[in-house]
């Protein structure tokens, strides 16, 4: 079975944790321990978030003059290499030596007319108190929005149109390689308007879940998993009536509304994958990945299900 696993940002750096290499490596080791047992029986492709890492690099770059700061597409490429390196190393420490691993820098095409450029929604970087966020807005012109009871920087998040490296990813899978790719939603790129066909980077961050869904679809994956810090998708989250959804057809799940900054994109991506491919998508906790593959934990979305059922 071919499985695409999208690691949420919280799988790599939990909210409020120090953004140090040691903390990230510790979390990546936990992710590797959850994923490694699947490799013996399945083809595995791993994607990951990079919001906190890109935000950190942007803050480091802010120490330079404005015209010397690196753009978001370059920072995205840097984080793909950094996180991929750690994932490869931690998985390699658990898997047999002969199992090949590869991280692929992945460029993704977006449309310059995408409405996401007019309404920045993608959270990047650390959280701030309101007064600190206001000060940074005045100094750097960054846009901030509320994230829970804190504030975070937001940047444009256009819809992914095409994954340029899809053929090399397929070639690696044909050689039984564990592939790490499309990190952070891929590196946002766009063709410049005009007669000359010239590709360039874009000041944006593509939604990881939407890009991972496109990847899973183009790879004809049998199962698309989005691993997060929640055990399942809940109705009535945060209320006395909250219930964890176990199995559901995509149409039933699409009838509910979920937060745009967290579970919303995951549900959208899962439902689209299940509808278009006829295969299963799943959302659940990183620690439950093995059980999710067996359809025992998490929220499983599949068009073959007659109706929505709940855990417990």
pLDDT at site 104: 97
Domains in the chain, CATH or no CATH each: 2-59+79-106+159-186+205-310 (3.40.1160.10)
Rounded percentage of the chain residues whose pLDDT exceeds 90: 60
Q: Dihedrals φ, ψ of 162, to 5°?
A: -150, 140
**pLDDT tens across 264-311, in order?**
889 999 999 999 999 999 999 988 999 999 999 999 999 999 999 999
**pLDDT tens across 166-187, in order?**
999 999 999 999 999 999 999 9
For residues 245-259, average pLDDT: 93
pLDDT level of residue 64 (50, 70, 90 thresholds): low
**Is the whole model's pTM more than 0.75, yes or no?**
yes
Using the predicted structure, report yes or no on whether residue 161 has a pLDDT greater than 90: yes
Q: What is the CA radius of gyration of the chain?
A: 19
pLDDT at site 219: 98
Using the predicted structure, report yes or no on whether residue 91 has a pLDDT greater than 80: yes
Using the predicted structure, report yes or no on whether residue 67 has a pLDDT greater than 70: no
Q: Dihedrals φ, ψ of 245, to 5°?
A: -80, 135
Tokens 């420490």 identify what position? 93
- DSSP secondary structure string for all residues of the chain: -EEEEEE-HHHHS-TT----HHHHHHHHHHHHHHHGGGTTTSEEEEEE--HHHHHHHHHHHTTS-GGGSPPHHHHHHHHHHHHHHHHHHHHHTTS-TTS-EEEE--EEE--TT-GGGTS--EEEEEEE-HHHHHHHHHHH--EEEEETTEEEEEE--PPP-EETTHHHHHHHHHTT-EEEE-GGG-EEEEEPSSSS--EEE-S----HHHHHHHHHHHTT-SEEEEEESSSS-EESTTSTT-EEEEEE-HHHHHTS---TTTHHHHHHHHHHHHHHHSSEEEEEEGGGHHHHHTTSSSEEE-TT-SS-EE--
pLDDT at site 94: 97
- Choose the weakest-confidence range: 72-76, 181-185, 252-256: 72-76
Q: Dihedrals φ, ψ of 115, to 5°?
A: -65, -15
CA 261 from centroid of its chain's CA atoms: 12
For residues 24-43, average pLDDT: 93
pLDDT at site 182: 96
Using the predicted structure, report yes or no on whether residue 52 has a pLDDT greater than 90: no
Give dist(CA 280, CA 201) in Å, integer.
33
pLDDT at site 10: 65
Cα torsion at 55, 58, 62, 66 (round to 10°)?
-130
Using the predicted structure, report yes or no on whether residue 46 has a pLDDT greater than 70: yes
pLDDT level of residue 59 (50, 70, 90 thresholds): low
pLDDT level of residue 23 (50, 70, 90 thresholds): confident
For residues 254-262, average pLDDT: 82
pLDDT at site 65: 60
Using the predicted structure, report yes or no on whether residue 33 has a pLDDT greater than 70: yes
Length of the chain: 312
pLDDT at site 194: 67
pLDDT at site 68: 63
Burial 277-310 (b: 16+ CB within 10 A, else e): bebbbbbbbbbbbeebbeeebbbbbbeebeebee
Please choose, from the candidates 129, 133, 56, 48, the residue with its C-alpha nearest in 3D space to the C-alpha of residue 91: 48
For residues 19-25, average pLDDT: 83
Sign of CA dihedral 174, 175, 176, 179: negative
Give dist(CA 301, CA 182) in Å, integer.
23
Using the predicted structure, report yes or no on whether residue 163 has a pLDDT greater than 90: yes
Residues with catalytic roles: 9-10, 122, 208, 266
**pLDDT tens across 191-220, in order?**
987 657 789 999 888 989 999 999 999 999
Using the predicted structure, report yes or no on whether residue 256 has a pLDDT greater than 80: yes
Using the predicted structure, report yes or no on whether residue 110 has a pLDDT greater than 90: yes
Q: Which residue has the higher pLDDT, 43 or 118?
A: 43
């Amino acid at each position: 079975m071919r499985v695409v696993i999208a690691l949420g940002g919280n799988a790599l750096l939990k909210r409020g944790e120090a953004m140090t290499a040691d903390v990230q490596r510790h979390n990546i080791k936990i992710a590797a321990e959850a994923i490694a047992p699947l490799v013996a029986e399945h083809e595995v492709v791993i994607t990951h978030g990079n919001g906190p890492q890109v935000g950190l690099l942007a803050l480091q770059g802010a120490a330079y003059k404005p015209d010397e700061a690196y753009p978001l597409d370059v920072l995205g490429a840097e984080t793909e290499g950094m996180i991929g390196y750690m994932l490869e190393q931690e998985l390699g420490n658990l898997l047999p030596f002969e199992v090949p691993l590869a991280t692929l820098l992945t460029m993704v095409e977006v449309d310059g007319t995408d409405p996401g450029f007019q309404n920045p929604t993608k959270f990047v970087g650390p959280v701030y108190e309101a007064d600190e966020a206001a000060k940074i807005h005045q100094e750097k012109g960054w846009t901030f929005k509320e994230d829970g009871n804190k504030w975070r920087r937001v940047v444009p998040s256009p819809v992914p149109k095409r994954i340029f490296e899809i053929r090399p990813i397929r070639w690696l899978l044909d050689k039984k390689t564990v592939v790490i790719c499309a990190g952070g939603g891929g590196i946002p790129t766009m063709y410049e308007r005009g007669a000359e066909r010239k590709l360039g980077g874009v000041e944006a961050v593509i939604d990881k879940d939407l890009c991972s869904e496109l990847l899973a679809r183009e790879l004809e994956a049998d199962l698309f998993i989005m691993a997060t810090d929640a055990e399942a998708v809940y109705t009535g989250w945060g209320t006395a009536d909250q219930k964890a959804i176990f199995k559901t057809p995509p149409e039933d799940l699409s009838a509910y509304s979920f937060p745009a900054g967290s579970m919303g994109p995951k549900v959208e991506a899962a439902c689209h994958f299940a509808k278009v491919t006829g295969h299963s998508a799943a959302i659940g906790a990183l620690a439950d990945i093995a059980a999710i593959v067996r359809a025992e934990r998490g929220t499983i979305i599949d068009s073959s299900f007659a109706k929505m059922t709940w855990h417990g």
